[in-house]
Amino acid sequence: MAQSSSNYPTMKYPIASDPVNVHGDFKVLVDALNDILPPLGYGAAYLDARNTTGATIATGTPVFISGSLSGKSLIEKYNPSSLSHNPDIPILGLVKSSIANNTNGLVIVSGVLEMNTTGLGLPGTRVYVDESGTLVSTRPSTGPARYVAVVAIQSVSGMLIVQTKGNGTWGALKDGLS
């Protein structure tokens, strides 16, 4: 049976005889971190941004900063195959919840994003952004790696661990692609 740590009584650490449940274990860990870190001043890094693109930007969509208006960052879908998009612009993060046109919403730059992860691979699978700005589980064969997340839980109500750090550079270095 798992034992409690004296410093964090809600967090249990496994012992050798515990059954393994990757999905459940990730969820327990993420939930515990979400309870413990915010009171300490830590948690997900996010940006409150505004969508003025004329269309809704869906949950999990990779975005970049396209400008500012009254001190608020404006965002657009990251789509390097678009003729009007400069592919050297870094990915800011992934949209937390769909953002309708002319409204504000959150972009997760680093942290946990709850979204449908079916089709993105099993837990531990790296998630990339392809040339059309779509999240994929296979590294694109052209262009930079654009590694932005890892699947934590594969499910309709799954989780990604987001770590964009710009144009996928951090992920590319961790992936051995300097």
| Domain definitions of the chain by residue range | 45-174
| Residue 27: burial class (beta carbons within 10 Å; 0-12, 13-18, 19+) | middle
pTM above 0.75, yes or no: no
Q: Does residue 174 or residue 34 have the better pLDDT? A: 34
What per-residue confidence (pLDDT) applies to 167? 46
Cα gap 107→98, rounded to integer Å: 10
Q: What's the pLDDT tens digit per position in 61-116?
A: 999 999 999 889 999 999 887 777 776 788 889 999 999 999 999 999 888 899 99
According to DSSP, the residues that pair with 51 across neighbouring strands are: 75, 103
Q: Which residue has the higher pLDDT, 133 or 6?
A: 133
Indicate whether 1 pLDDT > 50: no
Alpha-carbon distance 139 to 154, whole Å?
A: 18
Q: How confident is the model at residue 60 (pLDDT cuts 50, 70, 90)?
A: very high
Residue of 117 and 20 predicted with greater confidence: 117
pLDDT band at 36 (very low <50, low <70, confident <90, very high): low
Residues in contact with 83: Cβ distance below 8 Å, sequence separation at least 6, in sequence order = none
